[in-house]
Amino acid sequence: MTSRAWTPSAGLAAAAFAVAPELAPAPPPAAHSAREAALTHWQEGLTLATREAWPQAARAIARAARAGPSDAFLWVNLANAQRHAGAPLRAIAAARRALQHSRGDPLALRLLGVCLAYMHRYAAAAQVLAELDASGHSTPEVMVQHGSAPLSLQQPKPADVVLLRALALQPDLVQGHAMLVEACRERGMKRDALECMKTVLALQPDNLEALARVSFEKRQLCDWWSLDADIHTVVQAWANAVPGQARVALSFTLLSLPLAPELLLAAAKADPVALSRGIKPLPARLPSPAVSDPMQATSGGRWPGERASVGRNGNDLTHTRN
């Protein structure tokens, strides 16, 4: 849910605030009932959201939005709930509905931009987040998200501009410096990329990913003077790491260093754990009914005992036989 206190529009104001009778005449019974229903459903959604029951919260707030369809803040809350519930397309629709009723709403713009980027619609996300930036309501964290959109479109120069503005406002923003590394590398500015990664490491000395990247960037510049010191630092960092902890260690990058096999194995185990957090597992069996006719199987059915799997090399969804 959003952290802002609920400030409903005129259509729902009487449901939350006591208004003097001479300033606000009594609404018709039907309108009063709609306001009460909207407030009740919104409070139910807020309670569910505090328990992180986001799908149920989204359904409750959707009922509130239907009861008060002209209130932009209800649609903003619905967009946020849908985003947390794992329904980005519904979140996009709700955020756009909020902007129809409250043009330029900062929360709606932020949610819309974040969800568009999540759906890999980077050009649209950059446009929305640029509008938020121009309104003066953006934050350094949102600016970093804005910078990542053109960077994903292989447009590092406009990404540089946004990222440097974000870091001017918050110099210790680690993600901003890390994103600037990618922008510099895309522009062929390898030494600048190295300096940006050194800044990340200065802010987070135990960051295993930054340690691996610093060593890698140095080797790209034929800087071998500190190789022994880099290896010692990486070994010490892994010695102090919590066993089994999910860490992005760039295990393939570490292969270029003469490290012990045990350390490389630990890095190889940590990477997939860290990168797979939040991913929902595929079902053990496909829900479609099994078929026995090969012609039916090739036209969308499946063989008995087949399960879904992801192609390792082609990145395509395939069917495999047990």
Q: What is the pTM of this model?
A: 0.69
Beta bridge partner(s), residue 318: 309
CA–CA dist 299, 164 (Å, integer):
52
Lowest mean pLDDT among 43-47, 275-279, 284-288, 291-295: 291-295
Ordered by where they begin, the domains of the chain are: 13-17+26-245 (1.25.40.10)
Radius of gyration of the chain (CA): 26
Print burial letters for 62-94: b (CB count within 10 Å at least 16), e (below 16).
bbbbebbeebbbbbbbbbbbbbbbebbebbbbb
Looking at this protein, which amino acid is placed at residue 257? L
Looking at this protein, which amino acid is placed at residue 243? P
Biggest CA-to-CA distance, the chain: 81
Residue 300 has pLDDT above 90, yes or no: no
pLDDT digits (tens, 9 = 90+) for 239-250: 777 665 556 666
The DSSP call for residue 51 is: T
Which is more confidently placed, 233 or 23? 233
pLDDT digits (tens, 9 = 90+) for 120-130: 999 999 999 99
What pLDDT does 105 receive?
A: 92
Under 8 Å between Cβ of 306 and 320: yes
CA–CA dist 264, 250 (Å, integer):
10
Residue 318 has pLDDT above 90, yes or no: no
Mean pLDDT taken over the chain: 77
CA–CA dist 17, 284 (Å, integer):
52
**What is the pLDDT confidence band of residue 31, given thresholds at 50, 70 and 90?**
low
Residue 162 has pLDDT above 60, yes or no: yes
Q: Backbone phi, then psi, for 317, in 5-degree steps?
A: -75, 125
Helix 122-134 and helix 140-152, axial crossing angle in degrees, nearest 10: 150
Give the DSSP letter string of 254-277.
HTTS---HHHHHHHHHHHHHHHTT
What pLDDT does 250 receive?
A: 67
CB-based contacts of 275: which residues, under 8 Å, 6+ apart?
A: 248
CA–CA dist 38, 19 (Å, integer):
18
What pLDDT does 91 receive?
A: 94
Lowest mean pLDDT among 25-29, 90-94, 200-204, 241-245: 25-29
Under 8 Å between Cβ of 107 and 2: yes
What pLDDT does 282 receive?
A: 64
Under 8 Å between Cβ of 208 and 239: no
Average pLDDT of the segment spanning 79-86: 92
How is the chain split among helix, strand and coil, in percent rounded to 5? Answer: 60, 0, 35
What pLDDT does 94 receive?
A: 94
Nearest in space to 231 (alpha carbons), one of 219, 244, 242, 247: 219
